[in-house]
Structure 1
Amino acid sequence: MIIRPRHHWFRLLFVWRGSVLPNIVGRLALVLAVSVASVLSREWWMNAHANSALSIPPFTLMGVALAIFLGFRNSVSYERFWEARRQWGNILVAARSLVRQVVSVLPGESHAAFRLQLVRAVSAFAFALKHQLRQTDAAADLALRLDAPALAEVVAARFQPQIVLLQLANWLADEQRRGNLSEMEWLALDKSLSVLGETSGACERIASTPIPYTYRVLMNRTVMVYCLLLPVGLATSIGWLTPLIATFVAYTFLALEIIGEQIEEPFGTEPNDLALDALCHTIEYSVCEMAGLAPLGEAPVAHDYVLN
């Protein structure tokens, strides 16, 4: 996630880090080269193929249709991004609720070891979910937060966050059978566990059902063909202004396409994806503070204005 201070509008015109310009500069150079070639060959084309000369009106109609298409695609991508952010917000709320309930119903030094075990496991759940969504190895983060028996069971599983939730449920059920939790208290804690399970399932659904690949191929081809044909149509009307206008229009369409591609997969590590490392640390810090414990690990720091 890009973290930058607000700048004056004039300074924003020259921002490089945090923009999508580095991703499309090669394609913009290609459009610029086609624009220059179109202007240089304009006179020859008009003399040899006057009846086949392109003009602005067809590109105006195509541009409006393409802009609507891109807007729809970006709306779908942002909806996926926002739902992912909302689900992680629900994880934060449910984790706080679970720890708050345990701390309030199991106070005192006699339950200190159990509270420590539960808080570390809640933090481990967040880190396990992050690694599952990013398809990375969670062993190092889990080893800091789980004891050896629990760690061995979780690491051997395919869906590690769900195994952590199962362990939490078993531990709380044991406390209920010992008489440390009433039936109502157990049901309230189980509700918080259910919310964690539902939100993790929602995140898995977003990660496992991307926008259809054919849709992406269609967008890429349509945008590129339009941007490469546009200079041919503009050259006969505006002459040497063609490189400027065509490159600017191409920047707009190509940037919208790249932004849509980045936010449609919100759990990755691209600059515009969710900062899952920071979210996991926030969850851990919050639940540890409620239980009077010290969080493990250091808070992520933004590098080049990007926070992972």
Structure 2
Amino acid sequence: MQNTILVALAIIVALSLAAVWGYRRSDAFFLCLSPVPFSLIGVALAIFASFRNNACYERYWEGRKQWGVLTATTRDLARYVVTVPRLDDALSSATGAHPASDAAHPGSPHPDARHLVMLLTAFVQVLKHQLRGTDPAGALRTLLGEAQAAEIMRLAYRPHSLLMRVQRQMTAWHRDGRIGDILLATGLAHLDTLTQAAGACERIRTTPVPYPYEVLLHRTTYFYCVLLPFGLVESTGWATTVVSVFIAYAFLALHTIGGELEDPFGQDANDLPLDALAIHIERAMREALGDDAWPPVPVPDARHRLD
């Protein structure tokens, strides 16, 4: 954020020095303004900036809540597909082995259950890439293989298509008698929750804060900061530079933070760490499958930020 407003602050420093120099050279310096209007405008500008920042932070916080819903629901579904359907009978009949308890085979879920859990993992990865406008092909190939990745990449609504595949598998289990009506309804309710969470994230992504708010606040903030040194020079003298830069930093930083929080799914420093959130979900999925190879735990950088 500091890099974003560094140039603007440098301009404010230059204007402050010019105001002090001009005021010291001549009492009738033409840009020596009264500080009273700046006090009134500053209060109104602070209220307007706070209103916009609250709106942007609400978008950020709603995005984080929806990803919390995604995390909890995918974990629930992974537990559901690994433990609820009577797939051990199908596995034992295919292999000729005697059905065993879950404790005897804690790391060997049925291939259908494994595939469904990987579809859920792919859903999270594809949704992340869709919200960021990046390419999910690599993640799909890693999780589902070349053939399925190619099929999904040809589609426009990839997260929805992955959930449709999960639902088809659940309804197939229901037709085969692996799950009953109530258990099927429970699984489909979890899919509905994932659909709603993904839709809420897409709504945030595709509905920005109204453009007039951005333009008005941007122009007013910069215009105020540019004229501020000439309104303070008569009352603050040589301290004009320090005071002007301090006030300008507060307003410009508030404006910049709002701009970053407006799209919480981007890749700016203050956006949601979607990579880390997706990795945590994948680790939970692989733990439910009993896999040994997990993605590494995301580590914050020197400024305690995750990607």
Note if contact 1:45-1:53 (Cα within 8 Å) is conserved in structure 2: no
Q: Does 1:86 align with 2:65?
A: yes
Corresponding residue of 2:84: 105
Residues 57 and 48 of structure 1, relative CA distance in 2, 3 Å threshold? closer
Corresponding residue of 2:260: 262
Match of 2:51 among 60, 72, 75: 72
Deviation at 1:304, TM superposition (A): 4.3
Task: Give the root-mean-square deviation of aligned CA atoms.
Answer: 1.7
Letter in structure 2 aligned against 1:31: I
User: Aligned equivalents of 1:48 and 1:272: distance in 2?
Assistant: 43
User: Aligned equivalents of 1:125 and 1:294: distance in 2?
Assistant: 21
Letter in structure 1 aligned against 2:132: R
Alignment of 1:1-308 (within 5 A): 20-43=1-24, 46-47=27-28, 49=30, 53-106=32-85, 108=88, 110=91, 112-294=110-292, 297-305=295-303, 306-308=305-307
User: Aligned equivalents of 2:189 and 2:116: distance in 1?
Assistant: 16
User: Aligned equivalents of 1:65 and 1:47: distance in 2?
Assistant: 29
Note if contact 1:94-1:196 (Cα within 8 Å) is conserved in structure 2: yes
State the TM-score, normalized to the length of structure 2. Answer: 0.89
Note if contact 1:176-1:182 (Cα within 8 Å) is conserved in structure 2: yes
The CA deviation string for residues 127-179 of structure 1, in whole angstroms up to 9 with x for no partner, is 00000000110000011111444323211111110000000001111111111
Identity, % of aligned pairs? 39
User: Aligned equivalents of 1:118 and 1:145: distance in 2?
Assistant: 11
5+ residue gaps in structure 1? Answer: 1-19
Letter in structure 2 aligned against 1:28: L
User: Aligned equivalents of 1:71 and 1:260: distance in 2?
Assistant: 9
User: Aligned equivalents of 2:192 and 2:180: distance in 1?
Assistant: 18
Note if contact 1:210-1:265 (Cα within 8 Å) is conserved in structure 2: yes
User: Aligned equivalents of 2:116 and 2:136: distance in 1?
Assistant: 18
State the TM-score, normalized to the length of structure 1. Answer: 0.88
Note if contact 1:144-1:296 (Cα within 8 Å) is conserved in structure 2: no
